[in-house]
Amino acid sequence: MLNFSEIKLVHIDDHLLFAQGINSLIGNETFINELVHAQTLAEGLRIVEELQPELILLDYFLPDSNGIESLRLLNKTSPSSKVILLTMESNPDVMEKCRREGAIGFLQKSISKKALLEALNNALQDIPTFPITVQSSAETPNSPLNILSKREKQIADLVTEGFTSAEIAEKLFLSDLTVNTHRRNLIHKLGLKNTAQLVAFIEKLKFSEKGSGV
């Protein structure tokens, strides 16, 4: 199913038995060159910094951190790594917050091996895997926002929430210049003139799609 080879995967979870189960399920898959387990975020950060893995599986609940803070630190330590939450947490608001913090997926620990492999495959292709209840209007099939990149969608959401470029840069571990460049690009792609039009456009789009049942 997967067309990738020799990737590194780090699994951060303090439940050793579950981690051993994941290793048994996918540790021998031919596309995985190295699968490393960490029981705390601190340990995971050290491993991630050294390996710079393509994929990270992350439990939301860790002895030394919660999922939101974990995501921020992991993204800062290895910006190119794709992070998937694999957890017992099921609160849609939490899932949405993780999506906004840059997670590429959010999975329940009851997931099947097939579904897990599909999520890993999606992540490697930069395709999000989230429950339908937390998919934003930016991810609906016919949304005009589909012309935007993943990063542009993140920034568009944060702009709509009232965050400044400096605040967005801090949240996403980017420079102010990079954020401003993304803002200009997404405004241009949507055929708008300024940030005020961008905010009004997205809010109107979300309202119309909610009203249509999308």
Residues 93-137 pLDDT 10s: 888 889 888 899 999 998 889 889 989 988 988 888 887 545 443
Residues 26, 32, 33, 39, Cα dihedral to 10°:
-60
Among 134, 156, 171, residue at a domain's last position: 134
Sign of CA dihedral 39, 40, 41, 47: negative
Q: What does the pLDDT average to over 58-74?
A: 94
> For residue 123, what are the domain limits?
7-134
> 100 and 144: one domain?
no
> 61 and 153: one domain?
no
Domain count, the chain: 2
> 156 and 184: one domain?
yes
* pLDDT value, residue 212: 46
pLDDT band at 207; cut points 50, 70, 90 = low
pLDDT value at 2 more than 80: no
> 90 and 142: one domain?
no
* pLDDT value, residue 132: 55
> 38 and 110: one domain?
yes
**pLDDT, tens digit, 9 for 90 and up, residues 161-206:** 888 889 888 888 888 888 888 888 888 877 788 888 888 877 776 6
The CATH code of the domain that includes 13 is: 3.40.50.2300
> 16 and 39: one domain?
yes
How far does the chain reach from its first CA to its final CA, in angstroms? Answer: 30
DSSP codes of every residue in 65-89:
EEHHHHHHHHHHH-TT-EEEEEES-
Among 91, 110, 134, residue at a domain's last position: 134
Q: Are 38 and 11 in contact (CB under 8 A)?
A: yes
pLDDT value at 147 more than 80: no
Residue 47's identity, in one-letter code, is: I
> 113 and 150: one domain?
no
**pLDDT, tens digit, 9 for 90 and up, residues 23-44:** 999 998 888 999 999 999 999 9
The CATH code of the domain that includes 162 is: 1.10.10.10
* pLDDT value, residue 65: 92
Q: For the chain, how long is the longest CA-to-CA vector?
A: 54
pTM comes to: 0.63
pLDDT band at 143; cut points 50, 70, 90 = low
* pLDDT value, residue 198: 82
> 36 and 60: one domain?
yes
Among 105, 134, 163, residue at a domain's last position: 134
